[in-house]
A and B are shown apart, each in its own frame.
Chain A
């Protein structure tokens, strides 16, 4: 199943392969017992490894190339998706996808970063690193959702906003700032789900919402461990230490009261069972949305501003 295997996943995958081979070889009952024992062993091994992951290993899982991306989740948990393109000013940014879709039958505006799976699609998607037009497309469609009283769901998965000449010329900083400002007071429910990487302003640019959720094996911070290492340690070699120092996992951010909920992933991570990961995400989104829809729009905005105002609240 797994196309890419991380170092710490190897013992698990090897054992799984062994079980699979045994299955193929025979349907002998004696072997069935042995298989059952091995299966128990593999699930213990998995639990052991996954309950002791370092922060850097979590970062690796968040970037796992087999992990579901925004469009994968949309196709697994929503129906009637109609993708809408363009910022109506300059172009269509492929690193952010957006459109109307139905979640549990209910129309929503869904917006997310989109990475590619291979070289070709990664070039097409600019490795999930948006230009200003991506943020402006997102804002245009969020305003449309607000006009039509449709909730907004965003999925975050980016290694950052693209640092390029054209991006700067067209106001990357302004585009992100504008989204933070506007998202703060759109009078419809906004749910933000971090499904992979949440790097800096490029992530936050579609990340202001009433509920901010993080999948179990994702990260969210102001800088990547590698860049942090290169700046603070002046070497690329301290990414593990940087990841620890940044406290960037879902559990960390829950403790810091920056996110509202950790969404569990199937054993071994979302990439080992995308369908199940999607099902959990879907149930969570439906549950959260129901709660938010009970709140009146002006109250919703008030609470959202208060929520972000209280982040890292200063206690002198």
Chain B
């Protein structure tokens, strides 16, 4: 649930425009390097000086990962109907409507069929910009449908994860999406179809405790925050500072919970190699 307080850190093109003259320059939040936007894009939104991986959306991710023009999106306009009429300081319904307007996205995941170096796949990519990439009904349903599609098309599934946790405003429905997606993955497993999870910053909460940690192979981008409980909650509970590097990709690699930490620039190559060896349709 860390997304809510951290939303200020959220990288979005809007805030970049405000921060820099004419909106053409971006500051690396890790090393402070000032980078031209074009250069940043050419570097796949990573810092060429310190390798910091900027948070990006599904659109950016798909742009370098998938063969050009191969992505065919499904259920694009599925959006949350606010099943509980949830109101906190704001109506959830309004929050959703405003976020749709602001981001041009309909919820925190997009999925479809695509190709990676001519290998047919089904892919889902999450968007942290949409209410912190939180998982509610729509994320659960779309990931489930991506699994169904991978199953019927007999194509490998790739999910690019990025989530601050559960969509609180969908309460128990949101919780059940963990069980729903995990249950669906048993079918993919039984059918012998590979599933690769790619964890990006941040992958926490209910997404971690379901499909993110259920990849046959789990790849992580460098420096991504990955965990079940958020660092703030842990710190609050134990009343101590957390060790440096705690819950980062390299930490999870060391502890045995991800298969490999892969630089964004090498992600397409790595996935191509893996898919080629893991599956022949």
Q: Interface residues, chain A, CB within 8 Å of chain B?
A: 161-165, 167-174, 176-178, 180-181, 184-185, 200-201, 204-205, 207-208, 220-223, 227-228, 231-233, 238, 241-242, 245-248, 252-253, 256, 258, 304-305, 308-309, 311-316
> Distance (Å) between the CB of B149 and the closest chain A CB?
14
Residue B108 lies at the interface, judged by CB distance under 8 Å to chain A: no
Interface size on B, residues (CB 8 A): 65
B267 → chain A closest CB, angstroms: 22
Shortest Cβ distance from A207 into chain B, in angstroms?
8
- CB-defined A-B contacts under 8 Å, sample of 12: A163-B228, A167-B228, A177-B210, A180-B183, A185-B186, A200-B175, A204-B179, A208-B183, A222-B168, A242-B88, A245-B87, A314-B138
B211 close to chain A: CB less than 8 A:
yes
Docked Cα-Cα span, A309 to B183, in Å, equals 7
Chain A residues near B246 (CB, 8 Å)? 165, 168
- The secondary-structure label for the interface of chain B is helix
Query: Once the chains bind, are B228 and A305 in contact (CB under 8 Å)?
Result: no
Say yes or no: B89 contacts A221, CB within 8 Å.
Answer: no
Q: Are B174 and A181 in contact (CB under 8 A)?
A: no
Query: Which positions 79-111 of chain B face chain A at CB distance < 8 Å?
Result: 81, 83-84, 86-89
Indicate whether B206 reaches chain A with its CB closer than 8 angstroms: yes
Q: Across the interface, do A171 and B229 meet the contact criterion of CB distance under 8 Å? A: no
Asked whether any CB of chain A lies closer than 8 Å to the CB of B247, the reply is yes
- Given contacts A222-B166, A308-B179, A312-B137, whether A172 and B172 have CB atoms under 8 Å apart is no
B1 contacts across to A, CB distance below 8 A:
223, 227, 231
The answer to whether B89 touches A184, judged by C-beta atoms less than 8 angstroms apart, is no
Q: Is B249 an interface residue (CB 8 A)?
A: no
Stretch in B18-26, B59-67, B231-239 with 4+ CB within 8 Å of A: B231-239
**Dominant secondary structure of chain A at its interface with chain B:** helix
Least distance between B275 CB and chain A CB atoms (Å): 22
Interface residue from B84, B167, B212, B256 paired with A247 (Cβ < 8 Å): B84
Q: How many A-B residue pairs have CB under 8 A?
A: 190
Asked if A201 contacts B175 (CB within 8 A), the reply is yes
- Given that A200-B166, A201-B178, A314-B141 are known contacts, is A184 also in contact with B172, CB under 8 Å in the complex? no
A163 and B88 contact, CB distance less than 8 A: no
The one of B87, B172, B185 in contact with A181, judged by C-beta atoms closer than 8 angstroms, is B185
Give which listed residue, A164, A165, A245, contacts B86 with CB less than 8 A: A245
| Min CB–CB distance B99 → chain A (angstroms) | 15
B229 & A167 in contact (Cβ 8 Å cutoff): yes
Contact mask B178-193 → A, CB, 8 Å, 1/0?
1110111111011000
Taking the closest CB of chain B, its distance from the CB of A310, in whole angstroms, is 8
Given contacts A181-B182, A233-B88, A314-B138, contact A173 B175 (CB under 8 A): no
Q: Across the interface, do B179 and A184 meet the contact criterion of CB distance under 8 Å?
A: yes
Q: Could you say which residues of chain B place their CB within 8 Å of the CB of A205?
A: 209
A163→B237 contact, CB < 8 A: yes
> Is B172 within 8 A of A201, CB to CB?
no
Contact B184 A173 (CB under 8 A): no
B219-260 CB contacts (< 8 Å) to partner A: 226-230, 233-234, 237-238, 242-243, 246-247, 255-257
Instruction: Find out whether the CB atom of B257 lies under 8 angstroms from the CB atom of A171.
Output: yes
With a CB–CB cut-off of 8 A, which chain B residues contact A169? 255
Q: Are A245 and B88 in contact (CB under 8 A)?
A: yes
A201 cross-chain contacts in B, Cβ below 8 A: 175, 178, 205-206, 209, 228
CB nearest neighbor in A for B228: A173
Seed contacts A163-B228, A220-B175; 10 additional CB < 8 Å A-B pairs: A174-B213, A204-B179, A208-B183, A222-B206, A228-B168, A232-B89, A242-B88, A256-B173, A308-B176, A312-B140
B172 in contact with A247 (CB, 8 Å): yes
The answer to whether A173 touches B180 (Cβ under 8 A) is no
The reply to whether the CB of B171 lies closer than 8 angstroms to some CB of chain A is yes
Please, how many angstroms separate the alpha-carbon atoms of A176 and B208 in the complex? 9
Instruction: With both chains docked as a complex, state the minimum distance between the C-beta of B100 and any C-beta of chain A, in angstroms.
Output: 15
Report B150-185 CB contacts with A as 1/0, cut-off 8 Å. 000000000000000011111111111111101111
Which among A184, A223, A242 is the interface contact of B166 at CB below 8 angstroms?
Answer: A223
Residues on the A chain within 8 Å of B86, using CB: 245
> Roughly how many angstroms separate A304 CA and B166 CA in the complex, as a whole number?
23
Known: A165-B234, A168-B234. A177 touches B172 (CB 8 A): no
CB proximity of B165 to chain A, nearest CB, Å: 9
A113 CB to nearest B CB, Å:
16
Known: A177-B214, A201-B178, A312-B170. A304 touches B183 (CB 8 A): yes
Asked whether B271 is an interface residue with its Cβ less than 8 Å from the other chain, the reply is no
Q: How far is the CA of A312 from the CA of B185 in the complex (A)?
A: 18
Q: Nearest-CB distance from A201 to chain B (Å)?
A: 4
Which of B4, B174, B247 contacts A168, CB < 8 Å?
A: B247
**Within 8 Å CB of A178, what residues of B?**
213-214
Query: B270 at the A/B interface (Cβ < 8 Å)?
Result: no
Please indicate the chain B residues that have their CB under 8 angstroms from the CB of A204 in the complex.
175-176, 178-179
